[in-house]
């Protein structure tokens, strides 16, 4: 390795994860077949308590498994993740719960270790008004940090650019410590906001309404990836 490559930032990942929340629930297998080029598929589980909306639970999420080999990325917007998240850990490649849904960062670390022990990548998510600082000293305990760029609960909301300060703080610390923790952004992502997010340091881009419900979902995925990767390199 040359000195120049040794001092360069590690190669950044660009992962696009369409959210099935925006898909036709009556035809989920057909919907995910429209995005074979997606790196991950994002699965939003809402309980009507942690967020003011109800989506679906474990049986519906599991029904996708026979229909794809893609990485299934579960986002739990639920109360009491200690009770439910382990059930998801056995079947899904990544399971993310909310910091606001557990007692404190110590409880989050305990749950994360449990999830990792069950063989899944563990993720921690924060809502737009939750500060990132409590996470910064513990990033090695999580495989991904999901920064919400809308209030969780519904698709189709406008991207909140102010959350990118949290992404920059995460990127700086992850790079400084040489960690492999991924930064995921969720809410209001399309080509332009993916580019803004890529420039700030995001690795994983969740996109619901800008992919499903459009005429050309696969093309939308590729466009988001291109915008994000180009901005991340600049
Ligand atoms: C919102 C969910 C998102 C949602 C994003 O609470 O966590 O994953 O599907 O939808 P869009 O991309 O339409 O903002
Ligand atoms: Zn989500």
Q: What is the residue with the minimal CA distance to atom 10 of ligand 1? A: 155
pLDDT surpasses 80 at 169: yes
Q: Residue 217 to residues 119, 122, 133, 152, 208: CA-CA distances in angstroms?
A: 31, 28, 36, 23, 10
* Residue 5 included in any domain: no
pLDDT (0 to 100) of residue 3: 44
Say how many domains are in the chain: 1
What number is the average pLDDT over the span 77-87?
98
4 against 108, higher pLDDT:
108
What number is the average pLDDT over the span 170-184?
98
Q: What percent of the chain has pLDDT over 70?
A: 95
Ligand 2 centroid to residue 148 C-alpha, Å: 8
pLDDT surpasses 70 at 24: yes
pTM, whole model, 2 decimals? 0.96
pLDDT (0 to 100) of residue 10: 61
Residues of the binding site for a divalent metal cation: 42, 44, 75, 186
3-class DSSP state of 13: coil
For ligand 1, is residue 198 a contact (CB within 6 Å)?
Answer: no
For residue 120, give its domain range: 15-232
* Residue 27 included in any domain: yes
For ligand 1, is residue 189 a contact (CB within 6 Å)?
Answer: yes
**Is 111 within 8 Å of 81 (Cβ atoms)?**
yes
* Residue 29 included in any domain: yes
Q: What CATH number is given to the structural domain containing 212?
A: 3.20.20.70
pLDDT surpasses 80 at 9: no
Residues of the binding site: 19, 42, 44, 75, 153-156, 186-188, 208-209
* Residue 7 included in any domain: no
pLDDT surpasses 60 at 4: no
């Amino acid at each position: 390795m040359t000195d120049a490559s040794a001092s360069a930032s590690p190669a950044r990942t660009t992962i696009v994860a369409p959210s099935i929340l925006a898909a036709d629930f009556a035809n989920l297998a057909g919907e995910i077949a429209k995005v074979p080029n997606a790196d991950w598929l994002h699965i939003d589980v809402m309980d009507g308590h942690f967020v003011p909306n109800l989506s679906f639970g474990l049986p519906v999420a599991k029904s996708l498994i026979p229909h794809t080999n893609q990485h299934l990325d579960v986002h739990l917007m639920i109360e009491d993740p200690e009770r439910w998240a382990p059930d998801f850990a056995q079947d899904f490649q990544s399971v993310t719960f909310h910091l606001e849904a557990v007692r404190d960062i110590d409880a989050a670390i305990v749950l994360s270790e449990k999830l990792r022990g069950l063989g899944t990548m563990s993720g921690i998510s924060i809502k737009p008004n939750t500060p990132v600082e409590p996470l910064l000293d513990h990033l090695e305990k999580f495989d991904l940090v999901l920064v919400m760029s809308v209030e969780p609960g519904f698709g189709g909301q406008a991207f909140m650019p102010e959350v990118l300060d949290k992404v920059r703080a995460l990127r700086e610390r992850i790079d400084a410590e040489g960690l492999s923790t991924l930064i995921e952004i969720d809410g209001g992502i399309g080509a332009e906001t993916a580019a803004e997010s890529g420039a700030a340091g995001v690795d994983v881009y969740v996109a619901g309404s800008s992919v499903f419900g459009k005429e050309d979902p696969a093309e939308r995925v590729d466009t988001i990836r291109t915008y994000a990767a180009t901005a991340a390199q600049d």
